[in-house]
């Protein structure tokens, strides 16, 4: 053997160090780790601050959902206590010394007996590996992994949300984060883990400093749930857009079935609903095998707590109508229970610094649409807004006492709100046509039904309905009826839908009712689909509501606030009273260029599409233009003089009217907000395009030129107002001109809409030529300034952009 060979042999032996390493030599689970046995076992190393998971079900699917247990507290940012993330179908996969947490992709599948066909689809679309773990220890029951870092990450997209809100750049600070043991527990069918996670960064916006002690360090609680898949036996239900259930695609549910027959749709969506079965499906009325139980957060104070219980309990009436006995209950959350525990359907009471929306969400099996956990988030400031509405309507503080009426009004709304949000967690969507069908559903957004009694007093005794409506009963019947084996369930549900519409009930979904980002700013066109409205005749209701508003403003006085409150707070109460017609404006406007339609299918009995008649459109135009006349905009001088500037400690907020006057109350700016709501709604470019298109199909219908003519006659071309009303008339004229200039220069508008708007401006210029020497100096200045705006725009539309009306105070949600 050569010297070189001997030397190499010695080096190899030295490098190997003798015997190879054994699996038991690696760092294992600490001997004193505290164990919790459950669906996923937990091991807590107190000395090292590490949390380990015992994974027995390798390669077995389960549901994982992250949530926000302790929020930021700002409605504008949107990171609320109890906010759920998306339900994911995941599995732990073992490869050598590593375990991967893999999110399956149930959005693409092949429901086929052919394994190769299923595999072809699985391999065509990516999965997501959410995390990789080192195996700490092997056992007969599986593996133990260190999951600490997984739970201390930004699992809820906090940093992304803060960045999108322009509040700064943040990242997790591990030195200020740890597992939160009081809410880290293992149960037989679910394991819950919570972590205290701190985000550090440099604040950039104005919001965080109002809700966080130190905006450079934001500490929240992030929650994680691993949930066993439900037992077999649930029957998935095909989603039907006519039935009133939530479109599962809003929640990332639904899938494409590539094994579906050619000619059949690829997209398959399943309705979301709880599992509910009769003990005897053949009986007309039967107890449930297992009732649906909801639990109310003990953090809700009385009398709100009881109102939440009462309102949510209304749903039992719907299940009773569907043939169930006591199938739905509402109770208090057990002492010490975690609201995010997947075992509980929860109505959670959440606080924010500003008022905002409430939500109904849940944990859903992505494979079947089965709701495993319903979770309602109710904002606590909603009831305070309701109380404020009642104060403005009733002016109740006449003798120093605190009457019960405002609280009764507010609690009636909270009962309805509780039922509404629980309805979402039962799988039911909004029905914004229900208000036109005699308040047929709690799934509409209700405007308080305020009337004037025979004595001329404001009456709110029937402001909100009490109980679920007929539409709600029909929706539950369609989704939750347990048909006997000898009944064709699909045919029976088709019959339920046809009978529902034959009863005169209507259904209009979110996307055809809203004008906000939720509906991608589509602009509502269905005359029955509106938010916060009342009555089956939007035009008549607008006129009625304007008369109620007139009475409310006539009685508005110091009696709208309690004795001892700053007089400046009168404005807080005045805002919703003065703008109480803002939503009925939108409802009436849907008739202009509007068309009735349903979600009909070929072969069913639902009504087909038709346009709103010319007479009804003209009535709507007239009613809307009446809301911008000086009589509808003016505030009594004695009322204006009641409102002083805000005192120290009661500064201005976005809930108040804007001002052109510094800190002094500005009645003209208040009028500008109200008039701007009408003008912007009337002269919407999408509405204008719909009018033009409809007129081409039916020449008897009004086109956009007709709307422009009516608007100009009611504003610019009307006889000049005199006295105090003159300034209000000039204000409205200016808003109309601003809107026309915006329309003419709007690149997104239909070309003919822009042309008609421009032509209207040219005609105005010709009309102004004869009035620029008016004897009244105020009107003369108004005319000359308008003419200068028009001519500058004609020369260069970008040289002098038209002004913008002041932004109104926030509206939705009104209560």
**What's the pLDDT tens digit per position in 587-629?**
999 999 999 999 999 988 888 999 999 999 999 999 999 999 9
345-350 and 324-325 beta bridge pairing: unpaired
286-287 and 324-325 beta bridge pairing: parallel
Coil, helix or strand at residue 710: helix
Q: Is the pLDDT of residue 645 over 50?
A: yes
pLDDT of residue 19: 43
Q: Is the pLDDT of residue 17 over 60?
A: no
* pLDDT tens digit sequence for 94-144: 999 999 999 999 999 999 999 999 999 999 999 999 999 999 999 778 999
User: Quick check: 33 and 52 in contact, CB under 8 A?
Assistant: yes
Coil, helix or strand at residue 27: coil
Q: Where are the domains of the chain?
A: 24-227
> How far is residue 441's CA from residue 432's CA, in Å, rounded to a whole number?
9
Q: Which two tokens stand for residue 563?
A: 């004795």
pLDDT of residue 23: 38
User: Quick check: 524 and 590 in contact, CB under 8 A?
Assistant: yes
Nearest Cα to Cα of residue 99 among 64, 134, 72 = 134
* pLDDT tens digit sequence for 25-37: 446 889 999 999 9
How does the average pLDDT of the chain come out, rounded? Answer: 92
Higher-pLDDT residue of 815, 357: 357
Long-range contacts formed by 714-723: CB under 8 A, 24+ apart: 714/625, 714/628, 714/629, 715/625, 715/628, 716/764, 716/767, 717/767, 720/776, 720/779, 721/630
DSSP state of 282: T
pLDDT of residue 651: 84
Q: 3 Cβ partners below 8 Å, 6+ apart?
A: none
Crossing angle of helices 538-555 and 570-578, in 10° steps, is 160
- Which string of b and e fits 148-157 if b means at least 16 CB within 10 Å? bebbbbbbbe
Coil, helix or strand at residue 58: strand
Q: Is the pLDDT of residue 12 over 70?
A: no
> How far is residue 213's CA from residue 338's CA, in Å, rounded to a whole number?
26
Question: What is the band of 1 on the pLDDT scale with cuts at 50, 70, 90?
Answer: very low
Q: Which two tokens stand for residue 138?
A: 């092997």
pTM above 0.85, yes or no: yes
Q: Is the pLDDT of residue 389 over 80?
A: yes
**What mean pLDDT comes out for the span 715-727?**
95
pLDDT of residue 801: 59
User: Quick check: 68 and 223 in contact, CB under 8 A?
Assistant: yes
Q: 786 Cβ partners below 8 Å, 6+ apart?
A: 733, 734, 737, 764, 768
pLDDT of residue 799: 56
**Tokens 């609690």 label which residue?**
411
φ, ψ for residue 350 (rounded to 5)?
Answer: -125, 135
DSSP state of 274: -
User: Quick check: 491 and 484 in contact, CB under 8 A?
Assistant: no
Q: Is residue 548 reached through a cis peptide bond, with omega within 30 degrees of 0 on the bond before it?
A: no
DSSP state of 61: -
* pLDDT tens digit sequence for 210-260: 999 999 999 999 999 999 999 999 999 999 999 999 998 887 788 898 999
Q: Which two tokens stand for residue 148?
A: 């600490």
Instruction: Please list the residues that pair with 362 across neighbouring strands.
Output: 374
Helices (H), 155-303: 158-164, 208-211
> How far is residue 348's CA from residue 423's CA, in Å, rounded to a whole number?
15
> How far is residue 455's CA from residue 260's CA, in Å, rounded to a whole number?
67
Q: How many residues does the chain have?
A: 815
Q: 68 Cβ partners below 8 Å, 6+ apart?
A: 79, 80, 81, 82, 83, 85, 156, 220, 221, 222, 223
> How far is residue 109's CA from residue 117's CA, in Å, rounded to a whole number?
9
> How far is residue 460's CA from residue 815's CA, in Å, rounded to a whole number?
14
Mean pLDDT lowest for which of 81-90, 460-469, 802-811? 802-811
Gyration radius from the chain CA atoms: 31
Q: Which two tokens stand for residue 656?
A: 């108040």
Q: What percent of the chain shows pLDDT beyond 70?
A: 94
Q: Is the pLDDT of residue 517 over 70?
A: no
Crossing angle of helices 614-626 and 667-682, in 10° steps, is 170
User: Quick check: 428 and 244 in contact, CB under 8 A?
Assistant: yes
Q: 35 Cβ partners below 8 Å, 6+ apart?
A: 41, 42, 43, 54
């Amino acid at each position: 053997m050569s010297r070189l060979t001997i030397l190499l042999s010695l080096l190899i032996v030295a490098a190997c160090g003798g015997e190879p390493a054994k699996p038991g030599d690696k760092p294992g689970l600490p001997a004193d780790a505290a164990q919790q046995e459950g669906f996923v076992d937990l091991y807590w190393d107190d000395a090292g601050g590490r949390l380990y998971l015992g994974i027995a079900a390798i390669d077995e699917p389960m549901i994982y959902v992250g949530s926000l247990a302790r929020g930021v507290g700002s409605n504008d940012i949107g990171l609320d206590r109890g906010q759920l993330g998306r339900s994911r179908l995941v599995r732990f996969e073992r490869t050598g010394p590593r375990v991967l947490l893999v999110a399956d992709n149930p959005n693409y599948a092949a429901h086929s007996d052919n394994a190769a066909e299923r595999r072809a689809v699985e391999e065509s679309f990516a999965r997501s590996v959410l995390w990789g773990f080192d195996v700490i220890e092997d056992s007969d029951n599986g593996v133990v992994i260190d999951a600490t870092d997984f739970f201390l990450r930004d699992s809820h997209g906090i940093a992304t949300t803060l960045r999108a809100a322009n509040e700064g750049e943040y990242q997790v600070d591990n030195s200020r984060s740890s597992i939160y043991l009081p809410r880290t527990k293992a149960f037989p069918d679910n394991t819950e883990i919570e972590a205290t996670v701190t985000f550090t960064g440099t604040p950039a916006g104005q919001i965080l400093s109002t809700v966080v002690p130190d905006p450079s360090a934001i500490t929240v609680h992030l929650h994680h749930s691993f949930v066993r898949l439900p037992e077999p036996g649930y029957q998935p239900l095909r989603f039907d857009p006519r039935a009133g259930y939530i479109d599962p695609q809003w929640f990332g549910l639904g899938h494409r079935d590539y094994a579906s027959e050619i000619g059949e749709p690829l997209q398959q969506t399943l309705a979301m609903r709880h599992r509910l079965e009769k003990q005897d499906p053949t009986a007309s009325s039967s107890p449930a095998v297992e009732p649906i139980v909801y639990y109310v957060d003990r953090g809700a104070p009385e009398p709100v707590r009881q109102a939440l219980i009462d309102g949510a309990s209304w749903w039992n009436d719907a299940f009773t109508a569907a043939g169930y006995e006591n199938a739905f209950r509402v109770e208090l959350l057990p002492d010490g229970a975690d609201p995010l525990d997947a075992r509980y359907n929860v109505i959670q009471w959440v606080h924010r610094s500003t008022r905002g929306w409430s939500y109904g969400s849940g944990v859903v099996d992505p494979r079947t649409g089965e709701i495993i956990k319903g979770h309602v988030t109710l904002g606590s400031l909603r009831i305070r807004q309701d109380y404020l509405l009642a104060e403005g309507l009733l002016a109740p503080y006449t003798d120093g006492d605190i009457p019960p009426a405002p609280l009764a009004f507010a609690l009636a709304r909270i009962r309805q709100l509780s039922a509404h949000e629980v309805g979402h967690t039962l799988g039911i969507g909004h029905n914004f046509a229900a208000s036109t069908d005699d308040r047929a559903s709690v799934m509409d957004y209700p405007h308080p039904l305020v009337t004037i009694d025979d004595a001329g007093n404001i009456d709110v005794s029937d402001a909100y309905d009490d109980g679920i409506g007929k539409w709600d009963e029909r929706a539950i019947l369609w989704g939750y009826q347990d048909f006997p084996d000898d009944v064709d369930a699909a045919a029976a549900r088709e019959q339920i839908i046809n009978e529902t519409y034959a009863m005169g009930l209507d259904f209009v979904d979110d996307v055809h009712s809203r004008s906000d980002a939720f509906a991608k700013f589509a602009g509502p066109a269905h005359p029955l689909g509106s938010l916060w409205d009342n009555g089956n005749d939007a035009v008549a209701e607008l006129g009625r509501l304007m008369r109620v508003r007139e009475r409310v403003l006539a009685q508005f006085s110091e009696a709208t606030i309690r004795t001892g409150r700053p007089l400046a707070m009168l404005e807080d109460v005045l805002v919703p009273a003065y703008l109480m017609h803002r939503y009925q404006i939108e409802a009436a406007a849907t008739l202009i260029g509007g068309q009735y339609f349903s979600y009909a299918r070929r072969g069913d009995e639902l009504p087909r599409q038709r346009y709103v008649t010319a007479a009804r459109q003209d009535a709507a135009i007239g009613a809307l233009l009446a809301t911008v006349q000086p009589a509808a905009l003016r505030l009594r001088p004695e009322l204006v003089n009641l409102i002083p500037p805000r005192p120290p400690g009661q500064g201005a907020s976005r809930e108040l009217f804007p001002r052109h006057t510094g800190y002094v109350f500005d009645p003209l700016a208040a009028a500008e907000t109200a008039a701007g709501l009408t003008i912007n709604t009337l002269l919407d470019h999408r509405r204008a395009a719909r009018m033009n298109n409809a007129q081409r199909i039916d020449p008897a219908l009004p086109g956009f030129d007709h709307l422009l003519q009516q608007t100009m006659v009611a504003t610019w071309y009307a006889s000049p107002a005199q006295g105090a009303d003159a300034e209000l008339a000039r204000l409205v004229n200016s808003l109309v001109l601003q809107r026309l200039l915006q329309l003419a220069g709007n690149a997104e508008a239909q070309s003919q809409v822009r042309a008609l708007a421009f032509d209207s401006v040219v005609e105005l210029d010709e009309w102004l030529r004869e009035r620029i020497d008016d004897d009244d100096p105020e009107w003369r200045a108004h005319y000359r300034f308008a003419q200068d705006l028009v001519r500058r725009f004609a020369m260069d539309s970008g040289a002098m952009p038209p002004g913008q009306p002041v932004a109104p105070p926030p509206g939705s949600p009104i209560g």
